[in-house]
Amino acid sequence: QKEVEQNSGPLSVPEGAIASLNCTYSDRGSQSFFWYRQYSGKSPELIMSIYSNGDKEDGRFTAQLNKASQYVSLLIRDSQPSDSATYLCAVERAGNNRKLIWGLGTSLAVNP
């Protein structure tokens, strides 16, 4: 089992729809979770961080964290073609050797 798993996609949604991206992780001690967006050929840029169970909203983006079920998700409301990118989930590995563990990313295509 990979430490951080994401569905590689591609996930295709029509413009204006809600895109739902999911990420599961294996380390029950993880406390910090991040979503990054990466356009083709560019570097990752932070969308949102989340540390507590529940929802965290920022504009059209909502991150959802469920530590008991070990998943974190990202919802994108009113999806736009400019949201077409790869979305990376990163989870902090707890313990003495703290570092971020990265998922392989989910490719999202928003169709006009």
Partner 1 sequence: DGGITQSPKYLFRKEGQNVTLSCEQNLNHDAMYWYRQDPGQGLRLIYYSQIVNDFQKGDIAEGYSVSREKKESFPLTVTSAQKNPTAFYLCASSIRRGTDTQYFGPGTRLTVL
Q: At closest approach, how far in Å is the CB of 112 from partner 1?
A: 27
Tell me the closest approach of the beta carbon of residue 111 to partner 1, in angstroms.
Answer: 24
**Nearer to partner 1 by C-beta: 96 or 112?**
96
Least distance in angstroms from the C-beta of 38 to partner 1: 9
CA distances from 43 to 46, 62, 99 (A): 10, 22, 19
Q: How far apart are CA 111 and CA 34, in angstroms?
A: 26
Contact residues for partner 1, defined by CB under 8 A: 31-32, 34, 42-46, 49, 51, 88, 90, 92, 98-100, 102-105
Handedness of CA 75, 76, 78, 80 (dihedral sign): negative
CA-based radius of gyration for the chain = 14
Q: Kindly tell me which of 34 and 83 has the beta carbon lying closer to partner 1.
A: 34
